[in-house]
Amino acid sequence: MENRESNKKKYLYIVGSLILVIALLGVTYAWFTYRGETSEQEIIAGDIYLNLSEGQDEITMTNVFPETKEEARARDDNFITFEINGKNTSNKTIYYEIILNHGTDKASPKIRYNDADLRFDLIELDSNGDEVSYLLNAVNYDTLVNKRIYVDTIDASTSNEVSRKYKLRMWLDEEVIISDSEPNANYTTDEFKNGYATIKLIVAGDFEEKSAPKPAYQLIESLSSTASYIASYDDIITQNPTFTTQDQVSSSAPKQTVYYYTGNDASANSNVLFAGYCWQIIRTTDNGGVRMIYNGVAVNNKCETTRGATKGINGTNGTSTSLSEATLFGRSYDYNLTTGEFTIEDSTGLPTAWNNTNYKDLIGTYTCKSNSATCTTLYYVGSYASSTNAYTASYTIEDVAHFSQMGTSAFNPNYRSPALVGYMFNTEYDYKSGSKEGEYYTNAVWENGAYILSSGNGGSAPDTEHHYICDNDCAKVRYYYYADGSSYYYILLENGKTVEDALKEMINYKTNANEIDENINVYNSAMKGYLDNWYKKNLTAYASYLDSTTVYCNDRSIRDLVGWNSSAGSLTEYLQFKQYSANRDLNCVNETDRFAVTNYKAELTYPIGLLTEPERNLMTANFAKTGQNYWGASPSGMDYNYAGVRRVSTAGDKYISYVYSSYGVRGVVTLLPSTMLENGSGTYDDPYIVGPLVTRTN
């Protein structure tokens, strides 16, 4: 995005023109009578007409450049208003359609901008010309050849004239790149300066029933009043006033009503075909997007449940692995499903050895565990184990166990720290264990290069108030968070750190809501790396349909610190995150847990994530089940030595699993608010279609 933004600004002052030509083609029905030959046929008679007012028919803009919708809507030279008048005293409804088409071509050397680079608003106006509602919200189309964009009706037996006013706005998409050097540029500077866009607007009407493609959110909103499998989240909030949603990075952003798919009929009516894969709609987002979960490769443009296994990337449980033979590491990888091989990519500037000096620079990378860039077994480097060993997850390419999964992976190959419930994480503080020894204290204060322990002696075992004991002559201190009489678990603190400091570094724990986010996320989880590389391979070409601003929540807010509470915490219970006790609250409390492409504190490479526990809970088990176990995104807790994250069981129920375990992966993406559902009805045999049809075999 930085390159695109700089290119846009670089050519901001190029003087160009964007011509919006509106060819106003109307239809008029005068008095006429049709007499049916049998009683089966209708008689249509009445005062029937439909007119389109002419008005202004051409707009020329100067200083044209790629714009956000906010920038475009601040202009007053990129739209045209028009009015449709009609009367229909007959006994049958008139359907009228608003259609876009190419306008007149311009003489060479002019070039027509690509249809998909143009965005449109269609806005309903009141009688005073004030905006009432957006019928189309910053939508774009692959083609503008006879593209029906809107349908409305003049009902039968309408004795008074009906008048409808609209505003149509057109502009160049903000993602358009103008550059003479950027290889992915849409236009060179000369092409851009000589570019143009003309469209005709056609309004036609007759008695045949019609429908127009709707933005996905609008379709779901319109279905919600009749479809039993769609519910409004407003009802959940009414029942639980503390619940809310947080699908945008900013907590002050305006929010739309959220609708979610639920119940026994949801799976049969939520199907979408996108980028050659089947997806199922989970819910809408509070900024008008539509969230979907991966549901396998399509067969003949259908999403039947009888699809067989396909090739995919399957992982093993995390384990400690020697990296002594690894001399080539990469930040990402490519893969070939046919040959079963991985290829290491983006190795520039990385160390060539795993050791005490280099290991931080190699966390989150990939290696063939050799000096080769190609292998059939790939290793993700997750965490430090020793100067020679790392906690790794290994991957091979083979049949995916079930069509609804991309494959399998560990969430994180290390499990020994609360930090590792993170989709991204910062500092780990692995647990250590030991027998009871010495005397335990409440406070640890750092003075002159050593800890001084005070505030009571808890005796020979830690308890709810006494957690600290000296280590290495008090140059370090142990903080005990769990003790059951035979087992004692602690983290090691040094350089004046307290347990509160450690919690901030691991999960950005806040003692109050006003605290600053001090530790942004640094390292990728194995799960994030898995989804990033799948997206890069399969969805990069379809990014224009996806919302890069939406949040994928990895909620690490605390339900109960228990033994991690230095003043009053039980040492026989487990640390509990918010979804330790599952609920339906879609709020993502902390900004550092709101993973989004646009959030530098929790920055995604690509707009893809996982299903949260509240989303699964809203779906109900019958909709969420696939017959396989698959990962969710919601941290659950940390027992004495294992970090746990929610997964979905084979029956679709909630479950907690340790992060090093390898389970199914079902990525989640979100369609832009403007994304159109071009065809389909949402069933397995007739899925909604987004974007071009793509045929895949695996």
Element (H, E) at 524: strand 523-524
Rounded distance between C-alpha atoms, residue 576 and residue 569, angstroms:
12
In this structure, the answer to whether residues 169 and 25 fall within a common structural domain is: yes
Asked if pLDDT for residue 57 goes beyond 70, the answer is no
Q: Which helix or strand (DSSP H or E) is residue 221 part of?
A: helix 216-223
Q: Give 143 or 352, the one with higher predicted confidence.
A: 352
Percentage, residues of the chain above pLDDT 70: 92
Count of structural domains within the chain: 4
> For residue 459, what are the domain limits?
432-507
pLDDT of residue 313: 97
Q: Is residue 113 part of a domain?
A: yes
176-206 per-residue burial string, b: 16 or more CB within 10 A, e: under 16: bbbbeeeeebbbeeebbbbbbbbbbbbbbbe
Q: In this structure, is residue 288 part of a structural domain?
A: yes
The residue out of 191, 212, 233 marking a domain boundary is 212
pLDDT in tens, 376-403: 999 999 999 999 999 999 999 999 878 8
Whether 192 has a pLDDT exceeding 50, the answer reads yes
The mean pLDDT value for 624-642 works out to 95
DSSP 238-283: HH-TT--B--BS-TTS--PPPEEE-STTHHHH-EEEETTEEEEEEE
pLDDT of residue 24: 41
- Helix (H) or strand (E) run with residue 383 in it: strand 378-384
**Is 632 inside a domain boundary?**
no
What pLDDT score does 538 carry?
95
What is the predicted pLDDT for the residue at 58?
65
**Is residue 207 packed enough to be buried (19+ CB in 10 Å), middle (13-18) or exposed (0-12)?**
middle
**Interior CA angle at 487 toward 484 and 488, to 5°?**
95
Residue 8: pLDDT band with limits 50, 70, 90: very low
Q: Is the pLDDT of residue 679 over 90?
A: no
Higher pLDDT, 594 or 454: 594
- Is residue 596 situated within a structural domain? no
Q: Sorting pLDDT into bands at 50, 70 and 90, what band is 26?
A: very low
Do 444 and 388 have their domain in common?
no
Average pLDDT in the chain: 88
Residue 527 CA, distance from chain mean position: 15
Kindly state the helix (H) or strand (E) to which residue 138 belongs, with its residue range: strand 131-139
Cβ neighbours of residue 26 closer than 8 Å, sequence gap 6 or more: 50, 51, 52, 203, 204
**Do 691 and 539 meet the contact criterion of CB atoms below 8 Å apart?**
no
DSSP state letters, 22-72: ---B-----SEE---SSTTS---EE-EEEEE-----EEEESS---B-HHHH
Closest to 353 in 3D by CA, of 323, 331, 393: 323
**What percent of the chain has pLDDT above 90?**
60
pLDDT for the residue numbered 516: 83
Predicted confidence (pLDDT) at residue 17 exceeds the cutoff of 60: no
Q: pLDDT tier at 42 (50, 70, 90 boundaries)? A: very low
Q: Is the dihedral of CA 575, 362, 378, 274 positive or negative?
A: positive
Whether residues 40 and 117 share a domain: the answer is: yes
- Residue 206 is predicted with a pLDDT of 81
When mean pLDDT is compared across 265-279, 296-310, 452-466, the lowest value belongs to 452-466
Reading the block at residue 247, the tokens are 């699908």
CA distance 670 to 285: 8
Integer Cα distance of 397 and 378 in angstroms? 9
CB 421 within 8 A of CB 339: no
Give pLDDT, residue 50: 79
> Per the structure block, which two tokens stand in for 671?
């369609």
Q: Which of 170, 194, 212 is the last residue of a domain?
A: 212
- Closest by Cα among 633, 675, 667 to 546: 675
How does residue 435 score in pLDDT terms, banded at 50, 70 and 90? confident
Co-location of 304 and 260 in the same domain: yes
Average pLDDT over residues 603-630: 97
- Closest alpha carbon to 612 in 109, 318, 260: 260
- Cα distance between residue 495 and residue 477, in whole Å: 9
pLDDT of residue 130: 93
Q: Which of 175, 178, 100, 169 is nearest to 141 (CA)?
A: 100
Same domain, 203 and 227: no
- Cα angle 286-290-293, degrees, rounded to a multiple of 5: 125
302 and 361 in one domain? Answer: no
Q: What is the token pair recorded at 643?
A: 């970090």
E strands along 649-687, which residues?
Answer: 654-658, 662-665, 668-671, 676-677
pLDDT score for 36? 27
Domain boundary among 376, 399, 422: 399
The answer on 478 and 342 residing in a single domain is no
Q: Pick the residue with more confidence: 458 or 552?
A: 552
HSE-CB for 591 with a 13 A CA cutoff: 16
Q: Give the residue with greater pLDDT, 34 vs 618.
A: 618
One domain for residues 132 and 164: yes
Beta bridge partners of 490: 432, 480
Contacts of 211 (CB under 8 A, 6+ apart): 151
Domain assignment of residue 696, yes or no:
no
pLDDT, position 500 = 92
653 C-beta neighbours (distance < 10 Å), count: 15
Of the listed ranges 137-146, 157-166, 215-224, the least confidently predicted one is: 137-146
Is it true that the peptide bond before 109 is cis, omega within 30 degrees of 0?
Answer: yes
Q: Which of 293, 164, 284 is nearest to 223 (CA)?
A: 284
Work out the average pLDDT over 632-643: 95
Binned at pLDDT 50, 70 and 90, residue 9 comes out as very low
Does the pLDDT at position 676 exceed 50?
Answer: yes
Separation between Cα atoms, residue 273 and residue 496, nearest integer Å: 55
**pLDDT given for residue 425 in this prediction:** 95
* Range with top average pLDDT, 81-85, 188-192, 257-261: 257-261
Give pLDDT tens digits for 314-339.
999 999 999 999 999 999 999 999 99
Whole-angstrom Cα Rg for the chain = 30
Residues 49 and 179 in one domain: yes
**Residue 550 CB coordination number (10 Å):** 29
> Above 90 in pLDDT, residue 599?
yes
Average pLDDT estimate for 615-631: 96
| Other beta carbons less than 10 A from residue 48's beta carbon | 23
Q: At residue 384, what is the residue type?
A: Y
Residue 438 — pLDDT band, cuts 50, 70, 90?
confident
Q: What is the pLDDT of residue 44?
A: 53
* Residue 658 domain-assigned (yes or no): no
In a domain, 99, yes or no: yes
Q: Confidence band (pLDDT; 50, 70, 90) for 20?
A: low
**106-120, 208-222, 403-417, 475-489: range with highest mean pLDDT:** 403-417
Angle of CA points 600, 605, 609, to nearest 5°: 100
> Is 60 exceeded by the pLDDT of residue 29?
no
**Residue 274 and residue 341 in one domain:** no
Q: Verify that 302 and 341 share a domain, yes or no.
A: no
In a domain, 686, yes or no: yes
Based on the fold, state whether residues 61 and 26 are members of the same structural domain.
yes
Question: What is the rounded distance in angstroms from the CA atom of residue 182 to the CA atom of residue 3?
Answer: 9
Please write the tens of the pLDDT for every residue from 87-139.
888 888 888 888 888 888 888 888 888 998 999 999 999 999 999 888 888 88
The more confidently predicted of residues 29 and 599 is 599
End-to-end CA distance of the chain: give it in Å, rounded.
Answer: 30
Residue whose tokens read 């492409």: 597
